[in-house]
């Protein structure tokens, strides 16, 4: 089976082998080599490499919409940040009484703002499963609503690029406001535990790196399958001859919407894996410049290749 796969698609084979190698070797090197050994990988380096893996996933997600469907979406960073905030909210709730104010019911920044109770949209985030659901649901839903409005009105090209920039900019401004209840300027930070384990420990960092690597591999394989499906060919056809696709009976707006939402979900997952590894999420992640940077990764790595976004993300960083 491996041989068949290798012969069918060498680039994909090597890429998956490389990611698989990182996932296996880096944590192993951290555990088996003592700190003074030249082969030792520090906990800090693990997080850096894990972070790159999440960027790679983000790059892959943009390649789907831009590289394959031709939608130059300049707001992919917004979905990444929303995924990050979702896990960040869970991590905030995990702090419990260990915050500066020792308040089990409210995160520190809310106590500081003199809030008396938890806003409704924070409900549920003390459960890990709920956070996981939101990581997928919030970016997916926003992409669905935004995409439905934009694609149905046939907003394309530079106009679409501009409104996606506006979207992420609007979110940036909103999340900056203290009253929004997401920690304002400072964002969410000082995380202590993930599923009851110390988030700073080498073991948790190694697990996060492994999770990031596996998520990237899985996303790559699924994306590959999507692109090789008939839907993938319709998407490519839309990129090259949008009007023509309508005349053979496909609802272009629904196909664009599908790939846009799928990519937003991938970006959200990337963001959720990123935040525990860097220990903070703040509104600057919504910065329009961040989204532009993702486009540069994909452009450098090669559009419409799937591995382009991955390679570009790692190269640039």
Partner 1 sequence: MTALALPTGEVDTSHGPILYLEGVSVSFDGFKALNNLSLYIDEGELRCLIGPNGAGKTTLMDVITGKTRPDNGSVFFGQTIDLLKLDEPAIAAAGIGRKFQKPSVFEKLSVFENLELALATNKGVWPTLFAKLTSIQRERIDEVLLTIGLIESRWQQAGDLSHGQKQWLEIGMLLMQEPKVMLIDEPVAGMTHQEIERTAQLLLSLQGERSVIVVEHDMEFVRSIAKRVTVLHEGSVLTEGTMDEVQNDPRVIQVYLGD
- At 14, is the secondary structure helix, strand, or coil? helix
By CB neighbour count within 10 A (0-12 exposed, 13-18 middle, 19+ buried), where does 3 fall? exposed
Shortest CB 65 distance to partner 1, Å: 15
Nearer to partner 1, 1 or 243 (CB): 243
Q: Are 150 and 160 in contact (CB under 8 A)?
A: yes
User: Which residues of the shown chain bind partner 1 in the complex (CB under 8 A)?
Assistant: 152, 226, 229-231, 233-234, 236-237, 240-241, 243-252, 254-255, 258
Shortest CB 202 distance to partner 1, Å: 41
Return the structure tokens found at 25: 């070797």
Nearer to partner 1, 3 or 230 (CB): 230
173-197 residues labelled b (16+ CB within 10 A) or e (exposed): eebbeeeebbbbeebbbbbebbeee
Nearer to partner 1, 1 or 248 (CB): 248
Euclidean distance between CA atoms 64 and 135, whole angstroms: 19
Return the structure tokens found at 184: 């304002």
Shortest CB 244 distance to partner 1, Å: 5
Return the structure tokens found at 71: 């939608």
Nearer to partner 1, 36 or 240 (CB): 240
Nearer to partner 1, 176 or 258 (CB): 258
Q: What is the DSSP letter of 42?
A: -
Nearer to partner 1, 178 or 236 (CB): 236
Shortest CB 219 distance to partner 1, Å: 16
The total number of residues shown for the chain amounts to 317
Euclidean distance between CA atoms 281 and 107, whole angstroms: 15
Nearer to partner 1, 98 or 152 (CB): 152
Residues 6+ apart with CB under 8 A from 113: 178
Euclidean distance between CA atoms 99 and 204, whole angstroms: 21
Shortest CB 253 distance to partner 1, Å: 8
Alpha helices for 177-279 (secondary structure H): 202-228, 230-247, 252-278
Euclidean distance between CA atoms 212 and 269, whole angstroms: 9
Shortest CB 257 distance to partner 1, Å: 8
Shortest CB 192 distance to partner 1, Å: 42
Nearer to partner 1, 177 or 244 (CB): 244
Shortest CB 258 distance to partner 1, Å: 5
Q: What is the DSSP letter of 283?
A: G
């Amino acid at each position: 089976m491996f041989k068949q796969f290798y012969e069918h698609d060498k680039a994909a084979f090597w890429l998956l082998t490389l990611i698989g190698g990182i996932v296996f070797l880096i944590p192993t090197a951290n555990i088996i080599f003592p700190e003074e050994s030249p082969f030792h990988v520090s906990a800090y380096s693990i997080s850096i490499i894990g972070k790159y893996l999440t960027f790679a996933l983000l790059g892959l997600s943009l390649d789907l919409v831009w590289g394959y469907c031709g939608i130059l979406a300049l707001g992919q960073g917004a979905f990444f940040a929303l995924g990050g905030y979702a896990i960040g909210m869970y991590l905030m709730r995990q702090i419990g009484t260990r915050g500066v104010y020792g308040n089990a019911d409210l995160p520190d920044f809310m106590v500081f703002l003199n809030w008396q109770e938890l806003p409704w949209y924070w409900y549920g985030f003390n459960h890990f499963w709920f956070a996981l659901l939101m990581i997928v649901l919030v970016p997916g839903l926003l992409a669905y609503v935004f995409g439905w409005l934009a694609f149905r009105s046939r907003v394309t090209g530079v106009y679409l690029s501009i409104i996606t920039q506006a979207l992420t900019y609007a979110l940036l401004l909103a999340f900056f406001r203290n009253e929004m209840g997401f920690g304002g300027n400072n964002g969410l930070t000082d995380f202590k535990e993930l599923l009851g384990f110390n988030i700073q420990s080498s073991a948790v960092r190694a697990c996060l790196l492994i999770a990031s690597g596996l998520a990237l591999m899985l996303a790559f394989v699924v994306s590959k399958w999507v692109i090789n499906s008939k839907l993938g060919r319709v998407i490519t056809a839309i990129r090259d001859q949008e009007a023509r696709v309508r005349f053979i009976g496909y609802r272009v707006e629904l196909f664009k919407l599908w790939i846009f939402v799928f990519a937003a979900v991938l970006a959200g997952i990337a963001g959720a894996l990123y935040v525990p590894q860097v220990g903070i999420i703040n509104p600057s992640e919504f910065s329009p410049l961040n989204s532009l940077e993702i486009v540069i990764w994909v452009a450098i790595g090669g559009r419409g290749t799937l591995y382009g976004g991955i390679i570009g993300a790692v190269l640039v960083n």
